[in-house]
Amino acid sequence: MKLYFSRNPNPRLAVAVARQLGLTIDFEFAEPFAPGQAERYRPLNPNLSIPILVEGGKSLWEADAIACRLSRAAGSDFWRRGEDEPDMIRWISWGKENFVRACDMVHFERGTKQRYGIGPIDPRLVEAGLKRFHAAAAILEAEFATRDWLVGSTLSHADFRMATFLPFNEVARLPLETYPALARWYGRLEALEAWRDPFTGLDAPPLPPIPGPGD
């Protein structure tokens, strides 16, 4: 297996899954949108997005599909099967449309746009993202008041997916501390080495810095 990745949120998610599962994988840093690189990656993913998992001459793209495949390869219930699978898919689906989407909206304005010089922060979009964040975080706060993880009593891909953008919160500045049960859940994820620093030992150039006020 070869996993093409970068340090951006969804590729980071895929690397963290592989590291958490303890799989032996060939990791390769990729920049499909860099000048002259598109034609190399287009046969692997027509969208040119990463992560991409290549196995047996076939490619698989989209982080959640890759997480499913890696979990099966490891013989793990990280990607739930059986009775718990619908519940896990429920949280993945809800999270991507609500909590993860809200985090993405704020991070895009305060982080992505600034890193890549694609425009000023739009306060209206930040406000809209924060409104969605609070609505979704309140639901998760109630869930984590009585449980440690989203599905059953152990970690699953639903937890990793829900937290996709939280490693970038130093930039996004989402008020996670307002929700103590939610913050404790994320602390449990941060205690996992695979989540805290999935790039240990990999050739993974850092993301561009956020310019300071005088830059």
What is the extent of the structural domain holding 128? 82-192
Which stretches of the chain score pLDDT less than 70? Answer: 213-215
Structural domain contains residue 138? yes
For position 212, what pLDDT does the model report? 73
Q: Does 98 share its domain with 167?
A: yes
Q: Does 67 share its domain with 98?
A: no
For the record, the structure tokens of 188 come out as 């449990």
Secondary structure (H, E, C), 11-42: HHHHHHHHHHHCCCCEEEECCCCCCCCHHHHC
Q: Does 29 share its domain with 108?
A: no
Q: What's the structural domain count of the chain?
A: 2
> CA-CA distances (angstroms) from residue 120 to 126, 194, 207?
12, 33, 18
Q: Does 66 share its domain with 140?
A: no
Predicted TM-score (pTM) of this structure: 0.96
Whole-number Å distance between alpha carbons of 180 and 215: 36
CATH number of the structural domain spanning residue 22: 3.40.30.10
- The last residue of a domain, from among 50, 74, 98: 74
CATH number of the structural domain spanning residue 107: 1.20.1050.10
For position 213, what pLDDT does the model report? 58
Q: Look up residue 33 and give its amino acid.
A: F
For the record, the structure tokens of 68 come out as 């499913």
Structural domain contains residue 70? yes
For position 43, what pLDDT does the model report? 96
